[in-house]
Amino acid sequence: MSLDPQARALLDMVYRIGAPRFHELSVDQARRSMEKLLFAFRPDAPAVASVTEVPIPRGHDGVLLARYYRPISAEPDATLPLLVYYHGGGWCIGDVNSYDVACRELANLSHCAVVSVEYRLAPEHPFPAAIHDALLALDWVTDNADLLSIDPAKVALGGDSAGGNLAIVTALQARDRGGPALRHLLLVYPSTEMISNRPSRSTYGDGYFLDRESLVWFYSRYLPQGNTDDWRASPMLASSLAGLPPMTLLTAGCDPLTDDCLAFAERVRQEGGAVDHRNFEGMVHGFFTLGKYFHQANDAVGIAAESLRSALLAP
């Protein structure tokens, strides 16, 4: 599949100026690089009804921070459906601030509340710290539904890339222990399997933004023990994918993770699940949050919001 001309122009600019790739940077440098990219190419922040910083108690480990958005259309006392969102960034970079615009857009367009989770990052907090935080956030918001004015029977999980991985793993954990029940999964090019030889890994593994060396850079910091066969790191390896909520899967055509996503979706369907897959031809990994540069990103956010409306606003 050929790159979209706009994607080609962005990559040409990045590589022409000799910008270092993630695997050539320190962790702090990679975090600043991603922040600059997102702040440069994300849309202007739309107004929402309210934004609240939420500290979630984490026992002896202090607090897990999250940010709670209520859509512009919401009355102050309205009980709303909820999306719990986990940001991308290879479990090592990214944060709630960088995803502020995307979460505002999803809240306004879906008419649902959004909680964006500031889970702990590797290498300071390697696997499974992020997984523990992701599940804690789900438990806390459903246990405190009255405080947040949300409906605990209308909750979805979502995320992009590493955040999509956390959404899948959290949904599987909730399934295995009998709750909380989830209405939907919103997955944007999620990482479903650490080690893969599917064709897209090689076809788009060099010069398409998420290089194969960068994948190794992220994986080795998230999983310093090398336990890539743990299903909580690679949910494609879970013994069963049955019983997951219906999901919307958004993929980028020129992404090394695309074939892994498609294999995951096919297995979900084979085991009785429902998957609505939308592919954005010519796009690269990471496009979803770059709506100032890619019109496809705005289209993808709109599709994501529509899927949430359909899943969460129904009786």
Interior/surface letters 301-315, b for 16+ CB within 10 angstroms, e for the rest: bebbbebbeebbeee
Minimal CA–CA distance to 48: which of 29, 72, 22, 76?
A: 72
Q: What is the gyration radius of the CA atoms in the chain, in angstroms?
A: 18
Give yes or no: 161 in active site: yes
Q: How far apart are CA 191 and CA 162, in angstroms?
A: 6
Catalytic pick among 133, 255, 259, 260: 255
Q: Residue 114 and residue 157: Cα distance in Å, rounded? A: 10
**Residue 94 and residue 278: Cα distance in Å, rounded?**
24
CA dihedral in degrees (278, 284, 288, 290; nearest 10)?
-150
Would you call 285 a catalytic residue per the annotation? yes
Residue among 98, 161, 200, 234 flagged as catalytic: 161
Choosing from 87, 111, 184, 285, the catalytic residue is 285
**Number of other residues whose CB lies within 10 A of the CB of residue 261:** 28
Examine the residue annotation and report whether 61 is marked as an active-site residue of this protein. Answer: no
Place of tokens 């023990």: 225
Q: Which residues are catalytic?
A: 161, 255, 285
